[in-house]
Amino acid sequence: MKRNFVFTAVSVGSRLLVSALLFVLLARAWGPEQFGTFAFVFSVAALLMLIVDFGFPTFLLREVAADADHVSKLIAQGLQAKLLLTAVMSAVAATLALVLGSHTLPTALFMLLLLSAYLLSYSEFCLAPLRALGRYDVETVLSMCGNTLQFALAGGVVWLGGSPTSVAIAIVGSRSVYLLACWLALARAAPMVSLRPERGGVRSTIQTLWPYGIDSALTSAWNFVDIIAVRVLFDAQVAGLYAAGQRCIQGVVALAPIVGNVTIPGIARHAARQSGDTWRAAAHAGILMAGIGLAFAAPMIAFPGQMVGVVFGSEFSELSEWLPWFGAILIARFSGAAFGVILTALGLQKKRIAGQIMAVGSYVVCIALVDILGGGMIAALAALLLAMAIMGSSHAVQLYLAKRRNWIGIRQPMTE
């Protein structure tokens, strides 16, 4: 398990480093206003892509690990369902572009960033079975090479003074190569997947998938929906400042899969065997995730001015007033994620949805009040913090009930 943890840490770490460095480079090169426009379009594309993602990586990670004998069937059914959702998503994106217009949603930039999101979504779909089959070494090599290529191309364009559209073209190019490499690796690791439709196959897959999809969509939406809300309430300048702070959270949140990708298969196998060691393994995963959040949030709370000055520069100095709030949000989010990952590993994905819905509902109500009452950015940040606290509390209650009432039939450990 330690070996797999190291491989996953390197894989996700490279993605984290590339994403963080690239967005810092964009912010410094373009300033808050242009960076805010790019971040807004990027967030809209990523939010729409949740329809296509629909929890497939987590679904495959757990289901393949629990039933490795049917890996080809699981991949084929998942891919057929994903292609259907891609068609639905394309229609929604085209409608949204027509409604908002090119002034709000620049057409070329939106299409390119949407395409890059498509490519990344299918790449992650190919990597999930590799993790479940224990091929963390292959995933690590692919991830490092793909992330390095993306940073080299997109970073080079920014360094040469490229526009947001030019950067988006570079990202599309790098992710196209990445997807091809991921698919070839999956074809070698698992028998060839047939795309021939099975009667009722897509429907049954979506029925099984929906708890993963709803929870994944609600979880991932927090990376983007607040940036969109801030852009609607304020201007592009404020959105750029906010997006810079949000990138600090997203960069750290990207570490969550390091724990989840490694621990979910192991805890799922323990739970499938109803082993008495299940809760001990779950506790280790939860403590590790909560510790990561606290460790990265501490400097954001203690040294906001220094961090903003070093990372983003003087144009983003106003962000230093908001950064401690982002630190508190990070602690709340990671604490909730610790409980959520354990629920997923135990096969209790549906139990997470209630907390996600309550969190979304509270955020929508609070943001509406901010708009009606004319609140500022502190009020908007407080709304997000409250939503994260509600979600984490709900996950904790569900996990407590699962253990107390033994919902998954865990056998008590033998005592001498």
pLDDT tens-digit map of 214-268: 777 777 777 788 888 898 888 888 989 999 998 888 777 766 666 666 677 777 7
Residue 86 has pLDDT above 50, yes or no: yes
Mean pLDDT to the nearest integer, 182-188: 85
The Cα 328–Cα 382 span in angstroms is 10
The pLDDT score that the predictor gives to residue 26 is 92
* Mean of pLDDT over the chain: 82
Q: Give 21 or 159, the one with higher predicted confidence.
A: 159
The Cα 281–Cα 277 span in angstroms is 6
pLDDT tens by residue, 37-79: 999 999 999 889 888 887 777 777 666 766 666 677 777 777 8
The pLDDT score that the predictor gives to residue 415 is 36
How far is residue 264 CA from its own chain's centroid?
16
Split at pLDDT 50, 70, 90, the class of 156 is: very high
Q: Give 57 or 299, the one with higher predicted confidence.
A: 299
- Helix/strand/coil for 171: helix
Split at pLDDT 50, 70, 90, the class of 413 is: very low
pLDDT tens by residue, 87-119: 999 999 999 999 888 888 899 999 999 999 999
Residue type, position 60, single letter? L
Q: Which residue has the tokens 């190019």?
A: 173
Residue 193 has pLDDT above 60, yes or no: no
Q: Are 184 and 63 within 8 A, CB to CB?
A: no
Mean pLDDT to the nearest integer, 337-365: 83
Report, in angstroms and rounded to the nearest whole number, the Rg of the chain calculated over CA atoms. Answer: 21
Split at pLDDT 50, 70, 90, the class of 409 is: low
Q: Provide the residue ranges of all domains of the chain, joining segments of one domain with +.
A: 2-404
Instruction: Give, in order, the Cα–Cα distances in Å from 89 to each of 43, 290, 297.
Output: 15, 34, 35
Instruction: Give, in order, the Cα–Cα distances in Å from 375 to each of 22, 162, 362, 381, 383.
Output: 32, 36, 16, 11, 11
Give, in degrees to the nearest 5, the angle at Cα 348 between 267 and 404: 85
Q: Burial, 404: exposed, middle or buried (Cβ in 10 Å; 0-12, 13-18, 19+)?
A: exposed
Mean pLDDT to the nearest integer, 279-290: 80
The Cα 64–Cα 363 span in angstroms is 35
The pLDDT score that the predictor gives to residue 291 is 85
Residue 142 has pLDDT above 80, yes or no: yes
Residue 2 has pLDDT above 70, yes or no: no
- Helix/strand/coil for 178: helix
The pLDDT score that the predictor gives to residue 66 is 63
